[in-house]
Amino acid sequence: LFRWSNDFSTSCILIPCHCTFVLWVTPAQQRWASSLPMNTLVLFVPQQEAWVVERMGRFHRILEPGLNFLIPLLDRIRYVQSLKEIVIDVPEQSAVSLDNVTLQIDGVLYLRILDPFKASYGVEDPEYAVTQLAQTTMRSELGKLTLDKVFRERESLNSNIVHSINQASDDWGIRCLRYEIKDIHVPPRVKESMQMQVEAERKKRATVLESEGTREAAINVAEGRKQAQILASEGEKAERINNANGEAQAVLLKAEAKSKAIRVLSEALSEQNGNAAASLTVAEQYVSAFSNLAKESNTILLPTNAGDMSSMVTQAMAIYSTLGKTSQKAAPEMLEEKTESPENQLPPPQ
């Protein structure tokens, strides 16, 4: 049995085979839609499919999933569109980057039909149109980026391609969901230069890290020396303060001891036979000093009567008696001055 196909452009042959029929359609319809079903008055549309029906060669309606009825001879199913997400492999293509590097790049395109009417009557072959649009958009977007940015900004490149495809495919009833770049191939020489650049960058980072480590070590050593000097100076300061306090306390203790000794000596001199005791002490000190005359120096100045101990003791006691009389005369005069001062005088009685 020979008959024309639904689009009246190619013929098809129905061959009976065990009560079933085989239908040949155009290559575009084979890529984009399932085989066109025949009008059997009662039709069951699968889920996630849209059947476009024409009545007497003009668009009539779109069949929804489930049970549908058509008029034989007048109604025919013209297109079958799948509403599922469609994956299209974009073939490899060459593109030139902003820095004049030729790249071989391919990708995967994910899209979905939103309007079956526009997808059927807006473009002849939606898959081919979207694929060509993705390739041209990829070339234009790669021409805006350098080679380094192509690898770093792959996500932004994908989003820009999706945005450009959606702007052009709105009239086709197709929505591009995402675009993913699979492989990027660069020329061998460019790949070698990239590897050399990576090695140089790693060596640079290693040198920088080593220099930073050396600097940190030098800073730490300097800080340690500084802290050590500060602590040593503080320790020396504390040591000097402690020594000064000890010397001051020693001087005070010596002065107190000397004042006590003088007080005891004065009390002893005021007693009976005090002058004899003082003469004995002076004689003892004279003998001790005379025995050490020639031990410290060879040049010695001696009085003419150095061997006469009694005369030396008498002279020392005479000096002591003179100083004692002078101090006794000075004490009443100081007392009279204090009594005659205006501060100590009482006001006259009124």
- Residues 73 and 143 reside in one and the same domain: no
Helices (H) and strands (E) in the chain, counts: 9, 12
- What is the structure's pLDDT at 2? 32
Tokens read off for 175: 């929505």
Same domain, 177 and 106: yes
293 Cβ neighbours under 8 A, 6+ residues apart: 300, 302
In a domain, 99, yes or no: yes
- Are residues 175 and 111 in contact, defined by beta-carbon separation less than 8 angstroms? yes
For tokens 């030396």, the residue is 312
**Residue 109 maps to which CATH number?**
3.30.479.30
105 in the same domain as 62: no
| Domain annotation covers residue 338 | no
If asked whether residues 53 and 123 sit together in one domain, one would say no
Question: Which pLDDT score, from 0 to 100, does residue 219 have?
Answer: 93
Distance (Å) of CA 231 to CA 93, 226, 241: 73, 9, 15
Write down the pLDDT at residue 220. 92
Owning domain of residue 118: 84-186
Token digits for 209?
Answer: 């890290």
| Residue 204 token pair | 């640079």
Structural domains in the chain (count): 2
What single DSSP character describes residue 179?
E
Domain co-membership, 41 together with 129: no
The reported pLDDT for the residue numbered 6 is 38
> Tokens for 29?
């319809």
Task: Tell whether 43 and 77 lie within a shared domain.
Answer: yes
Percent helix, strand and coil across the chain, each to the nearest 5: 55, 20, 25
User: What does each of the 350 residues of the chain score in pLDDT, given as a tens digit?
Assistant: 333 333 433 333 333 433 333 333 344 444 444 468 887 888 899 998 999 999 998 999 999 899 989 888 888 999 998 889 999 988 888 888 888 888 888 889 999 999 999 888 988 888 888 888 888 888 888 888 888 888 888 888 888 889 888 888 888 889 999 998 888 888 888 888 888 888 888 889 899 999 999 999 999 999 999 999 999 899 889 989 999 999 888 888 888 888 887 777 777 767 766 666 666 676 667 667 666 665 665 566 666 666 665 676 676 667 666 655 665 565 555 555 555 555 445 455 44
How confident is the model at residue 53, as a pLDDT?
A: 92
Same-domain status, 104 and 131: yes
**Residue 48, domain member (yes or no):** yes
What's the farthest any 2 CA atoms get from each other in the chain? 175
3-state secondary structure 82-143: ECCCEEEEEEEEEEECCCCCEEEEEEEEEEEECCHHHHHHCCCCHHHHHHHHHHHHHHHHHC
pLDDT at res. 218: 92
- Which of the listed residues 131, 151, 186 is the one where a domain comes to its end? 186
The answer to whether residue 121 sits within a structural domain is: yes
Sign of CA dihedral 258, 261, 267, 272: negative
Rounded to a whole number of angstroms, the CA Rg of the chain reads 62
CA distances from 245 to 249, 251, 252, 257 (A): 6, 10, 11, 18
Q: Give domain status of residue 131, yes or no.
A: yes
Whether 74 is covered by a domain: the verdict is: yes
Shared-domain flag, residues 149 and 127: yes
Domain boundary among 186, 208, 224: 186
Chosen domain end from 126, 155, 186: 186
Residue 58 maps to a domain: yes
Total residues belonging to the chain = 350
Query: Helix, strand or coil for residue 283?
Result: helix
Query: What is the predicted pLDDT for the residue at 316?
Result: 64
Q: Is residue 174 part of a domain?
A: yes
Residue 304, token pair as written in the block: 């003419």
- The string of DSSP letters for 1-48 reads -EEE-TTSSSEEE--EETTEE-----HHHHHHSPPPPP--SEEEEPTT
Confidence at residue 19, expressed as pLDDT on a 0 to 100 scale:
37
49 and 72 in a common domain: yes
Mark whether 101 and 74 lie in a shared domain.
no
Q: Are residues 109 and 169 in the same domain?
A: yes
State whether residue 145 is helix, strand or coil: coil
